[in-house]
Amino acid sequence: MNLKKYFGPSTLIAAAFIGPGTITTCTIAGVKSGYTLIWAMVFSTLATMILQEMSARLGYTTQKGLGEAINSKFDSGIKRYLTFTLVISAILIGNAAYEAGNLSGGTLGMDLIFGEFKYWVLILGAISFALLYIGKYKWIEKILITLVIAMSISFLLTAIIVKPDLGDVFRGFIPSNLNKENLLLIMGIIGTTVVPYNLFLHASTISKKWKNTANLKDIRTENNVSILLGGLISMLIIITAGANKAALTDVNSAKDLALQLQPLVGDSAKILMGIGLMAAGLSSALTAPLAAAYAAKGLFGWSEKSIQFKSVWMAILGIGVTFSLLGFKSITIIKFAQIANALLLPLIATFLIFLCNDKQLLGKNVNTNTSNILGGVIILITLMLSIKTFLII
């Protein structure tokens, strides 16, 4: 069996969205609404598969990142300045918010393992800075991803042990509970899964790894398997939290997050959740600044060794550390980051679909009518939810 067909650049994307934000948001969804918001995760997973396939196809066909494709398409005039302003603003806001959530989540994990300490985020920030600056972060990222996978298996086993009502679980696949109280939760689920910066990251990693050694069928297979696996893990977190609603009346701390694993590992749940949160936070804390830097690199034609490239990831990392130190609750920062990403999604997705219909860029690999319809539905739904969210916040 050729594992490259199932695990590759898309695996990194799945690992990037299985971060502290996913664990926190899905836990809150399960505690607050039981299994009734599983449908939102199903929608988010399908949307991620569709949009990430476009990004991967763009990267493979053009051998460019999404930023580079935007740069080549809008090469002069007012459209260029307007486009660059919108995209850069979205990248800075979305990635900075996400980075704050990543580091805050990692801090929650450190609290569970070693005890509460106000400046854990500085230690995590320093580790992230050193690994990004040296550029030798991939080996430790593999270790961290392995730890996240171990915790994910724990959620699977816990979901089996707690024996959720399967009828209620299956009813959760039917859209419901779309009320004011749950709207921010739904936006959080979308924002933690369909991550805008992953669209930039995927195109860049695909263009680096796959040249003439694969075909689009292989890339689509890898994309679908990885994203489906990530979506399944997220659903399991909702299910385990929903099954523990009696014990988990609210989610305000890392200890609350750990309670849902108690049926599996008892008192060790705190350590297991701590390791998972720390690993998820640190691995995601590496990808968010890099994605922003790659996006800016493509837009402005910088090299990876340039001071401009390094300045972008340093800025994103610095903003994340700063917001984590401001005294906001880690859970609050994480929830805000997911909602911010969901609000920005329609803008980035629109640029992606526009580029994927350009025959000069993709030739015969442009979007099919089906891809355009599905992409349009995703944008329409997220745009409607964004507007409703703006009206209530």
What the chain holds in terms of domains, given with CATH numbers, is 3-392 (1.20.1740.10)
Specify the pLDDT at position 388. Answer: 82
**Cα separation of 378 and 361, whole Å?**
23
Which residues have a Cβ under 8 Å from the Cβ of 286 and sit 6 or more positions away? 128, 131, 132, 137, 141
Specify the pLDDT at position 211. Answer: 63
**Cα separation of 368 and 365, whole Å?**
8
Please name the residue ranges forming H helices in 194-215. 196-209
The answer, yes or no, to whether residue 1 has pLDDT greater than 50, is no
Pair 200, 69: CB distance under 8 Å:
no
State the burial class of residue 149 (Cβ atoms within 10 Å of its Cβ: 0-12, 13-18, 19+): middle
**What are the angstrom distances between the C-alpha of 281 and each of 121, 152, 172, 268, 275?**
10, 14, 28, 20, 10
**Cα separation of 358 and 273, whole Å?**
45
**Cα separation of 179 and 254, whole Å?**
27
Task: Give the single-character DSSP code of 260.
Answer: G
The DSSP result for 290-304, as a single string, is HHHHHHHHHHHT--T
5-30 tens-digit pLDDT = 556 667 777 777 777 888 888 888 88
Phi, psi dihedral angles at 175 (to 5 degrees):
-55, 125
Give which of 383, 16, 60 is closest to 205, Cα–Cα. 60
Specify the pLDDT at position 321. Answer: 93
Question: 141: pLDDT confidence band, cut at 50, 70 and 90?
Answer: low
Q: Among 97-101, 137-141, 309-313, 326-330, name the most confident range.
A: 309-313
Specify the pLDDT at position 145. Answer: 66
Which residues have a Cβ under 8 Å from the Cβ of 59 and sit 6 or more positions away? 65, 66, 202, 203, 204, 205, 206, 207, 210
Task: Write down the pTM of the prediction.
Answer: 0.86
Pair 182, 32: CB distance under 8 Å:
yes
**What are the angstrom distances between the C-alpha of 64 and each of 40, 67, 85, 359?**
32, 8, 20, 15
**Cα separation of 28 and 7, whole Å?**
30
Q: Report percent pLDDT > 90 for the chain.
A: 25
Pair 61, 361: CB distance under 8 Å:
yes
